Amino acid sequence: MTQETKPVRVRFAPSPTGYLHVGGARTAIYNYLFAKATGGTFYLRIEDTDRKRYNEDALKDLLRDLEWLALNWDEGPYFQSERLEIYGKEAQKLIDSGNAYYCFCTEERLQTLEHGYDRHCRELPPEAAKQKVETGEKFVIRFKSPLDGSTKFNDLLRGNIETPNKDLDDLVILKRDKFPTYHLASVVDDHYMQTSHVLRGDEWISSTPKHVLLYKALGWEAPLFCHLPVILAPGGGKLSKRKGAASVGDFRDLGYLPHALVNFLSLLGWSPGDDREVMELKEMIEAFSLERIQPKAVAFDEKKLEWMNGMHIRLLPNSYFTEELKKLYPNEQSEKFLKVAELLKPRLKFTNELPALSNYFFERPQKIVDEKAKAKYWTEQSPEHIALLANELEKIEIFNIQNIEAAFMKVCESSGIKLGMLAQPARLAVSGVGAGPGLWEILECLGKEECIFRLRCVN
């Protein structure tokens, strides 16, 4: 079986050293979508071999964030820290086959070197090296990188990439603490875990020739590689916390829906091939293919994410909102929840706006909080107009939109004012704020008595 015909097995392999960046989340999403689109397997591997940078909270957050995004993995998580024996064996094999060597250079010596490692221990006779190891001298194991020739691999997005071997260091594969470096662990795991495709951020592209050499030295076939385009901050440069929200946790805290974030991130570098943008997960899976990923850097546009979030809010079932409203106002009648949900759903940009935007449907506003709107629309005559309106509303038998509108028109005509000069003060009087759903709808939802009560509180 060639790599191209093997069953798809892909992984997300984060290092638990910090928060889950949106770039990492996008990598996870592409691996997930690719696995689902091809009937393959998506597994999670925790690359926790850098003990200095390991952070237990980061691991917890990472798992929580992936679950929140609903990127359910089929296997794992596998922890590299539990597989040290395997890496040790492979490092030993590389020593035995002459593809790696013990290096006894001290930190102090390494610090004096200017251009990477000078291969000082490379020519040490194996017997002498073995003796040093047996006497307990500290060592690392380094890969014996070929000194000439070049290493090629085919990146699925960028085509052939060739690196002169003289540019590659004799990289450390096993550290003093017997933990593997990222390079060895990644290659060994991708082999034994039968990874068919490595989809990862393009900051790893310079590591790939080193990995290709390791595969060769171990006698293994390398997986296929696909390095994903970099995500840039809106004004250029790397996306970072300093420039605003950058982690999945940040966007969750801001009130984004996980589906909206997944949808938005999926489009950073990929497109379904038509002009669809707002997609449910199922649609994304159906449309996904590696061919439609493009290698060019992409900018992160938070305005677009905001828009996308609103679009996904509209796709939520009404029951989502009625449940949330029930939690907010446990003593209220449930028929009202559905009406309020229908009115607010088209207006929400974030689900966490629900308490503020729904409040006046359930609680009488204490005062007009929207000072700006008040300054603009409230006049000395407003209380008088509102009193007339209350009287007119009182006459209504069937309190529906049509009759409410007619009552407004009647007051406007009899007092010779424009609708805005009645409707805006009335809105302020019943809701306390100057913007929201249609006024007739709000009044209908509040009910006749409540409206009249609120209007008559104005003086």
Site for ligand GLU in 374-413 (CB under 6 A): none
Write down the least CB distance from residue 293 to ligand GLU, Å.
15
* Amino acid identity, position 281: L
Q: How many CA atoms lie within 13 A of 247 on its CB side?
A: 14
Q: CA 197 to CA 33: how far, in whole Å?
A: 13
Catalytic residues: 241
Tokens of 45: 């591997």
Q: Which is nearer to ligand GLU, 173 or 386 (CB)?
A: 173
Q: CA 446 to CA 449: how far, in whole Å?
A: 8
Task: Give yes or no for a contact between 3 and 221, defined as CB atoms under 8 angstroms apart.
Answer: yes
Q: Which is nearer to ligand GLU, 247 or 322 (CB)?
A: 247
Q: CA 220 to CA 446: how far, in whole Å?
A: 71
Q: Which is nearer to ligand GLU, 143 or 321 (CB)?
A: 143
Q: CA 357 to CA 349: how far, in whole Å?
A: 11
DSSP character for 178? Answer: S
The helix (run of H) or strand (run of E) holding residue 235 is none
Write down the least CB distance from residue 311 to ligand GLU, Å.
30
The sign of the CA dihedral 341, 347, 351, 355 is negative
Write down the least CB distance from residue 157 to ligand GLU, Å.
15
- 223 is an interface residue for ligand GLU by CB under 6 A: no
Name which position in 54, 104, 117, 204 contacts ligand GLU (CB under 6 A): 204
- Looking only at the bridges linking them, the beta strands covering 197-201 and 9-12 are unpaired
Name which position in 10, 14, 141, 202 contacts ligand GLU (CB under 6 A): 14
DSSP character for 43? Answer: E
Beta bridge partners, 199, equal: 226
Site for ligand GLU in 130-169 (CB under 6 A): none
Interface region with ligand GLU, contact rule CB under 6 A, candidates 10-18, 173-181, 247-255, 306-314: 10-18
- 227 is an interface residue for ligand GLU by CB under 6 A: no
Write down the least CB distance from residue 201 to ligand GLU, Å.
7
Q: Which is nearer to ligand GLU, 77 or 425 (CB)?
A: 77
Q: Which is nearer to ligand GLU, 173 or 458 (CB)?
A: 173
Q: Which is nearer to ligand GLU, 46 or 267 (CB)?
A: 46
Per-residue contact track with ligand GLU, 163 to 202, x per CB under 6 A?
Answer: -------------------x---x-------------x--
Q: Which residue carries 């061919």 as its tokens? A: 291
Name which position in 13, 44, 91, 172 contacts ligand GLU (CB under 6 A): 13
- 47 is an interface residue for ligand GLU by CB under 6 A: yes
Interface region with ligand GLU, contact rule CB under 6 A, candidates 9-17, 71-79, 359-367, 380-388: 9-17
- 71 is an interface residue for ligand GLU by CB under 6 A: no
- 3-state SS assignment for residue 151: strand
Instruction: Estimate the share of the chain in helix, then strand, then coil, as percent rounded to the nearest 5.
Output: 50, 15, 35
Write down the least CB distance from residue 1 to ligand GLU, Å.
23
Tokens of 331: 């003593």
- 15 is an interface residue for ligand GLU by CB under 6 A: yes
Q: Which is nearer to ligand GLU, 228 or 368 (CB)?
A: 228
Q: How many CA atoms lie within 13 A of 439 on its CB side?
A: 23
Site size with ligand GLU, rule: CB under 6 A: 8
Phi/psi of residue 61, each to 5°?
-65, -40
Interface region with ligand GLU, contact rule CB under 6 A, candidates 8-16, 302-310, 359-367, 395-403: 8-16
Q: How many CA atoms lie within 13 A of 221 on its CB side?
A: 11
Q: Which is nearer to ligand GLU, 56 or 148 (CB)?
A: 56
Short-list 358, 268, 236, 279, CA closest to 22: 268
Short-list 96, 242, 119, 240, CA closest to 172: 119
Which residues contact ligand GLU (rule: CB under 6 A)?
13-15, 47, 182, 186, 200, 204
